Amino acid sequence: MIGSYTARFTGPTWEPEQLTRFLEVARPERLYALWVLVSATGMRRSELCGLTFASLDLDAAVVRMKATRVVAGGSVRSGTGKSTKSRRQIALDKFTVAVLRRHLAQVEEEKEAFGNGYQDHGLVFCWEDGRRIYPDTITEQFNRLVDRAKVPLIRLHDVRHTYATISLRSGVHPKIVSSRLGHATVAFTLDTYTEDIPDLDAGAAESISGLFLPREID
């Protein structure tokens, strides 16, 4: 056998307007910043749950992926990511930075309110008293918000796929998309997503021909 191909399941994704609707419904939530961050970066649930204050540099508008919290065998384990590519730096847009600044200010207020009773683990996303949030609880909250938003039911991980497909459709270079997602290779990104976006081929045909072919026959 020269080689083999294994189909990769990505699941359904949202259109941009559906993602917008979800974020509108999530706006009053205490963890609104989490939903904005996953939508704007495609971060994994484990990365969101392991995100620390030390990983954020909002003045430079970047987040550095250093730690994860995953559910394994019924317990939560801390780690450093799936691969070396997972431990990456991601640029943040201005809106996401502003939302994160407001969230961090709220966390500081909660620290003061709880005083010595605050359990400080250095996590960006935690309960009001600093306790770690069980990762599956994030998924449960996501599912409730999806139901309230009346958008198609998808998995939390499919928001990551939504980010990838929207990025590729918008013309973001596959290498950049791959880097931001923390994929091992650009080939993995292309193999995973291009089959799910058939209009990319049609768009490529028009873009390329438009560089040298006339618009009309006559």
**pLDDT in the model for residue 2:** 34
**pLDDT in the model for residue 7:** 43
**pLDDT in the model for residue 18:** 97
| 3 state SS of 119 | coil
Report how far residue 124's alpha carbon sits from residue 104's, in angstroms, rounded to the nearest whole number.
7
**pLDDT in the model for residue 170:** 85
**pLDDT in the model for residue 90:** 93
User: Residue 12: how many CB atoms within 10 A of its CB?
Assistant: 12
**pLDDT in the model for residue 195:** 62
Using alpha carbons, list the distances in angstroms from residue 217 to 73, 204, 205, 210, 213: 65, 20, 17, 13, 10
The bridge status of strand 62-64 relative to strand 68-72 is unpaired
Using alpha carbons, list the distances in angstroms from residue 178 to 7, 73, 116: 18, 29, 43
- pTM assigned to the model: 0.83
Report how far residue 36's alpha carbon sits from residue 163's, in angstroms, rounded to the nearest whole number.
11
- Scored b (16 or more CB within 10 A) or e, 121-130 reads eebbbbeeeb
**pLDDT in the model for residue 209:** 66
**pLDDT in the model for residue 37:** 96
204: its two tokens: 């490529």
Report how far residue 176's alpha carbon sits from residue 186's, in angstroms, rounded to the nearest whole number.
9
Q: pLDDT in tens for each of the 218 residues of the chain? A: 233 334 455 678 999 999 999 999 999 999 999 999 999 999 999 999 999 999 999 999 999 987 777 676 776 777 665 555 567 899 999 999 999 999 999 999 999 999 999 999 999 999 999 999 999 999 999 999 999 999 999 999 999 999 988 888 888 888 998 889 988 888 888 777 766 566 666 666 676 667 676 777 76
| Domains of the chain with CATH codes | 16-154 (1.10.443.10)
